[in-house]
Amino acid sequence: MNDIIPVERIENKIYLLRGQKVMFDFDLSELYGVITKALNQAVKRNIERFPDDFMFSLSKQEIQRMSQIVTSSQVKFHKNVNAFTENGVAMLSSVLRSNRAINVNIRIMRIFTKLRQILANHRDLLDKINELEGKTEKNTADIRLIFKTIRKLLVVEAKPKSKIGFIKY
């Protein structure tokens, strides 16, 4: 099963759109080994399985913007592009029943899980950086106070020099 498709090839087909990680119908159809039209027809026959948070169609503007990012130059000529969220990709396994589709779907689900773990680790790292930054700001204020105090101690007050010798009354 690991020989089907390299992980990097699948990872490069996951995009961030409308604040969600999605895969496009034409990429999924390529991975599953079916034509895009057949994939979309299977989805239409089972549309009740694909609510808006599982799959959505891109607007014309999104397709134009995407055509500048996605390497497939044919994207801008598509009239309709469907984007599948992680849940939508999981639901595709119940619609597409070939062995290849099942194996590819398992692989995709594992990659989504891996991405979620990476993001969680980055979130933890970001929290730690923010915590250290707060400590650093406090330490910086403390260090400034220490230097200010040291400077005060080092400043020698200019006292008038006492005269040497006898004083005449």
For residue 20, tell me if it sits in a domain.
yes
Distant-in-sequence, close-in-space partners of 132: CB < 8 Å, separation ≥ 6? none
For residue 50, tell me if it sits in a domain.
yes
Angle at 26 between CA 25 and CA 27, to 5 degrees: 90
Residue type, 80: N
For residue 148, tell me if it sits in a domain.
no
Q: Tens of pLDDT along 64-93?
A: 777 666 655 566 667 788 999 999 998 888
Note the pLDDT of residue 117: 83
For residue 131, tell me if it sits in a domain.
no
Domain extent at residue 75: 7-121
pLDDT at 132 over 50: yes
For residue 141, tell me if it sits in a domain.
no
Specify the number of domains making up the chain. 1
| CATH code of 87's domain | 3.10.260
pTM score > 0.85 for this model? no
Taking the C-alpha atoms of residue 105 and residue 5, their distance in angstroms, rounded to an integer, is 11
